[in-house]
Amino acid sequence: TYIVTDACIRCKFTDCVEVCPVDCFYEGENMLVIHPDECIDCGVCEPECPIEAIKPDTEDDADGKWLALNSKYATVWPNITVRKDPPADYKEFETITNKLEKYFS
């Protein structure tokens, strides 16, 4: 499966949702996640993200935390299939790394 990772937090470009053939993106307030059981591993979303937030789960952190986070929230957050504008302050967050602790919620 593919997973959404740290870079998405507070940027949320949502270009990814338009290309997914199985519509398996889910939207939280500050990031999107992929439903690992629905993703068919086609890989077309990966290059669509301008900040490279999407990766195959083989590139997850050693503790597997992003796959766990995607799995957890994909069953809670609503489905998103249509692109929308990113948050007004997205530029402030584009270059920040390790956003999970401070900016996830």
Residues that bind ligand F3S (CB under 6 A): 4, 8, 11-16, 32, 48-49, 51, 53-54
29 scored as a contact of ligand SF4 (CB under 6 A): no
The whole-angstrom separation of Cα 72 and Cα 51 is 23
**Alpha-carbon distances of 11 from 45, 53, 62, 76, 91, rounded to whole Å:** 16, 10, 24, 20, 7
User: Which of 40, 64, 79, 91 is in the footprint of ligand SF4 by CB under 6 A?
Assistant: 40
4 touches 53 (CB < 8 A):
yes
Footprint of ligand SF4 on residues 57-96 (CB under 6 A)?
A: none
The binding site for ligand SF4 (CB under 6 A) comprises 2, 19-22, 24, 34, 39-45
